[in-house]
Copies of this chain bind each other. A is one copy, B any other.
Amino acid sequence: MDPTQVPTFEDVLKARDLIQDQVHRTPVITCHSLNEISGCELFFKAENFQKVGAFKFRGAYHAIQCLSEVEAQRGVVTHSSGNHAQALALAARMRGIEAHIVMPVTAPQVKRKAVAGYGARIIDCQPELESREAVTEEVLKDTGGTFIHPFNDSRVISGQGTATVELLEEVRDLDVILTPVGGGGLLSGAVLAVQGIQPSILVCGVEPQLADDAHQSLKIGEIQPPRPPKTIADGLLTALGNLTFAIIKDGVQDILLVSEAEILQATRHLWERAKLVVEPSGAVPFASTLRDDFPFRGKRVGIIISGGNVDLDRLQFKQS
Partner-B contacts on A (CB < 8 A): 24, 27, 29-32, 46, 48-49, 51, 53, 268, 271-272, 274-278, 308, 312-313, 317
Contact = CB atoms under 8 A, between A and B. Distances in A.
A158 to B, nearest CB: 24
A312 B308 contact: no
A275 B53 contact: yes
Contacts of A48: 275
A27 B29 CA distance: 8
Q: Which of A274, A275, A276 has the most CB of B within 10 A?
A: A275
A268 B277 CA distance: 11
25 contacts: A24-B30, A27-B27, A27-B29, A29-B49, A31-B49, A32-B51, A46-B275, A48-B275, A49-B274, A49-B275, A53-B275, A268-B312, A271-B277, A271-B312, A272-B277, A272-B312, A275-B276, A275-B277, A275-B278, A275-B308, A276-B276, A276-B277, A277-B277, A312-B317, A313-B317
A278 B271 CA distance: 10
Nearest to A282: B275
Contacts of A268: 312
A46 B29 CA distance: 11
A303 to B, nearest CB: 15
A308 B278 CA distance: 14
Q: Closest 8 CB pairs between A and B?
A: A27-B27, A275-B308, A275-B277, A48-B275, A271-B277, A312-B317, A272-B312, A49-B275
Contacts of A24: 30
Contacts of A29: 27, 49
A308 to B, nearest CB: 4
A278 to B, nearest CB: 8
A275 B271 CA distance: 10
Contacts of A32: 51
A263 to B, nearest CB: 16
A119 to B, nearest CB: 13
A57 to B, nearest CB: 11
A40 to B, nearest CB: 18
A59 to B, nearest CB: 18
A192 to B, nearest CB: 26
A271 B315 CA distance: 13
